[in-house]
């Protein structure tokens, strides 16, 4: 048997790297570490052999081993994961944004799956499939009770192959079947771009999948050619990141060729690298605001942090997630893979913005944030103070107001979704995004719909009041304050219609977006949301005040 495998890598010449792999034996340079590794692997093998032979019931070796692998990796960090062959297609979609299928998203609905979103101009859309359609059969097979992942697997397949889907649509008694020809589905990284007014351009980047930088470049080029914007908003809110090289390429669009963007440092020298802008930029002068929030992570933080460090953009929103770790995918046997954390990344000021310290866990195994005492100050190109150890702090913080519990439960209970399904099937068209406005009449219909669904919700106030009552009874104090408790409970009791009117402003915004989404897809939904966005308003305010914009980036 081979005791090790040699891989060749090109970096300033040919570097030969010996990767140590355990099969029947092990080659290493540290005898004590070798002994401990061999010893424990031998214990593991013998333990599993005994389980397999003597355990009272039959065991599933594959599931047991996979669980042990996953538990082991969880002790490191949440980004180092084992990818079995069965999950490779989903992994590839997450990194490339491409797969073979019909072009829709699904979610569970009772015992069946329901179409939750349609991608424009792909087979599902062209064949007339609608959000809200319930999938009953695939290729003549009932999917009742089938796990959502299995339903997804049945819908996916090689491009140019057929799949027959039987549908139950709201308002129709009969089922109907559509035969689709699967196509290669590519989800663009830029679901929407446009002009907010005659001077300010806007680009939403939703992920850093393969070639998303080309999507941004095309959007930016089109805006410049068609509208000649004087400034730009790059929206990275809710963008979880993705490929590091795409973060480099997106940053490259706005910085001079040769500018350092990010560097990586790992235990193995192979993963030490400095990434610079290799291409000619599209625009190095246009004023930029980058929008970020807690959901902006990884590659999003590289772009936002780099443009902040070199004073190329003003960052607005809330602190980002704080993921400063880099993963590399390594091949394993039987077509499986290991995605393993191999390095930390550092943006131009020299800071790493990793927030959680996985290398120093607490005694109970939990992970803590890097303490303030270990957070260091760095300087931007113009001498502004920035800090490591906890994401990218915006230059201007704008907190989004919390939604009411009622609004959250209307959303998670799919009340917006279900009402929009019914509205879409009874209205042929609506005005374009930005022009369509939710009327009082539509909102009254929504209230009536929610009431008809026997919608029940519980607030945190309800939960706290119930806990207080139970605690008071347990400690025998309730009898002394029963009348006060009853009065308070009555005062805080909810009336659904009254609450829906009290929180109508935020509910109407989400309902309007949901309805627009049915007619104009995700791009329309984003366009519909912009007039109500306080962080967008602040970005526009800053970009229109050239002196303030300049003073933020160069306070001296």
Q: Which residues are catalytic, by number? A: 298, 309, 323
Burial class of 297 by CB neighbour count within 10 A (0 to 12, 13 to 18, 19+): buried
DSSP string over 29-42: S-HHHHHHHHHHHH
Q: How far apart are CA 57 and CA 66, in angstroms?
A: 19
Taking alpha carbons only, the member of 304, 313, 309, 312 closest to residue 380 is 309
Please check whether residue 354 is in contact with residue 323, taking contact to mean a CB–CB distance below 8 angstroms.
yes
Buried b (16+ CB within 10 A) or exposed e, 277-288: beeebeeeebbb
CB-CB neighbours of 158 under 10 Å: 9
Alpha carbon distance 495, 446 (integer Å): 15
Measured CA angle at 57 (ends 54, 59), to 5 deg: 85
Residue 233 and residue 202 in contact, taking contact as beta carbons nearer than 8 Å: yes
Cβ–Cβ < 8 Å for 292, 305: no
Q: How far apart are CA 513 and CA 434, in angstroms?
A: 10
Backbone torsions φ then ψ of 210, nearest 5 degrees: -55, 130
User: How far, CA to CA in Å, does 354 sit from each of 20, 270, 288, 390?
Assistant: 29, 21, 25, 6
Find out whether 221 and 282 touch, Cβ atoms under 8 Å. yes
Q: Please tell me the distance from the alpha carbon of residue 429 to that of residue 209, in angstroms, as a whole number.
A: 33
- With CA atoms as reference, report the closest residue to 90 among 153, 28, 163, 140: 153
| Residues contacting residue 478 through CB under 8 Å, at least 6 positions apart | 469, 472, 485
Residues in the chain: 556
Residue 113 CA to residue 131 CA, distance in Å, equals: 11
User: Distance between CA atoms of 504 and 510, rounded to whole angstroms?
Assistant: 10
3-state secondary structure of 418: helix
């Amino acid at each position: 048997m081979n005791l090790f495998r040699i891989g060749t890598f090109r970096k300033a010449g040919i570097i030969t790297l010996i990767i140590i792999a355990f099969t029947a034996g092990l080659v290493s340079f540290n005898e004590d570490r070798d002994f401990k590794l061999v010893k424990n692997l031998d214990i593991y093998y013998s333990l599993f052999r005994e389980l397999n032979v003597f355990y009272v019931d039959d065991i599933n070796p594959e599931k047991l081993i996979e669980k042990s692998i996953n538990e082991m990796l969880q002790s490191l960090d949440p980004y180092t994961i084992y990818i079995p062959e069965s999950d490779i297609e989903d992994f590839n979609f997450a990194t490339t944004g491409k797969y073979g299928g019909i072009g829709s998203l699904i979610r569970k609905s009772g015992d069946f799956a329901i179409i939750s979103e349609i991608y424009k101009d792909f087979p599902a859309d062209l064949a007339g499939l609608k959000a809200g359609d319930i999938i009953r059969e695939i290729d003549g097979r009932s999917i009742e009770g089938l796990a959502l992942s299995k339903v997804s697997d049945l819908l996916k397949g090689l491009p140019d192959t057929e799949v027959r889907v039987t549908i139950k649509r709201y308002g129709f008694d009969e089922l109907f079947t559509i035969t689709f020809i699967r196509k290669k589905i590519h989800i663009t990284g830029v679901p929407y771009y446009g002009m907010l007014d005659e001077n300010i351009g806007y680009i939403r980047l939703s992920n850093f999948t393969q070639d998303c930088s080309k999507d941004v470049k095309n959007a930016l080029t089109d805006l410049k050619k068609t509208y000649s914007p004087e400034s730009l908003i790059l929206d990275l809110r809710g963008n979880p990141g993705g490929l590091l090289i795409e973060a480099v390429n997106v940053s490259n669009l706005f910085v001079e060729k040769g500018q350092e963007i990010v560097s990586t440092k790992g235990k193995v020298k192979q993963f030490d690298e400095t990434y610079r802008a290799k291409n000619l930029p599209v625009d190095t002068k246009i004023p930029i605001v980058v929008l970020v929030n807690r959901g902006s992570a990884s590659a999003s933080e590289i772009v936002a942090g780099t443009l902040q460090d070199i004073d190329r953009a003003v960052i607005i929103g809330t602190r980002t997630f704080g993921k400063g770790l880099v993963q590399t995918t390594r091949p394993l046997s039987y077509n499986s893979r290991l995605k393993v954390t191999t390095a930390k990344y550092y943006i131009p000021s020299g800071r790493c913005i990793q927030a959680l310290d996985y290398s120093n866990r607490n005694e109970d195994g939990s992970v803590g944030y890097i303490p303030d005492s270990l957070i260091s100050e760095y300087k931007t190109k113009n001498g502004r103070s920035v800090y490591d150890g906890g994401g990218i702090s915006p230059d201007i913080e704008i907190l989004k107001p919390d939604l009411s519990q009622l609004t959250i439960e209307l959303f998670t209970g799919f009340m917006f979704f279900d009402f929009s399904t019914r509205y879409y099937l009874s209205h042929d068209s609506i005005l374009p995004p930005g022009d369509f406005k939710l009327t009082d009449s539509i909102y009254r219909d929504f209230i009536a719909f929610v009431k008809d669904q026997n919608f029940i919700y519980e607030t945190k106030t309800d939960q706290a009041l119930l806990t207080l009552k139970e605690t008071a009874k347990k400690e025998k104090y309730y009898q002394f304050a029963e009348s006060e408790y009853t009065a308070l409970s009555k005062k805080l009791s909810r009336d659904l219609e009254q609450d829906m009117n009290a929180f109508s402003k935020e509910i109407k915004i989400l309902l309007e977006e949901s309805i627009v989404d049915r007619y104009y897809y995700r791009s329309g939904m984003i366009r519909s949301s912009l007039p109500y966005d306080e962080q967008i308003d602040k970005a526009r305010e800053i970009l229109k005040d050239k002196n303030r914009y300049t003073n933020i980036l160069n306070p001296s």
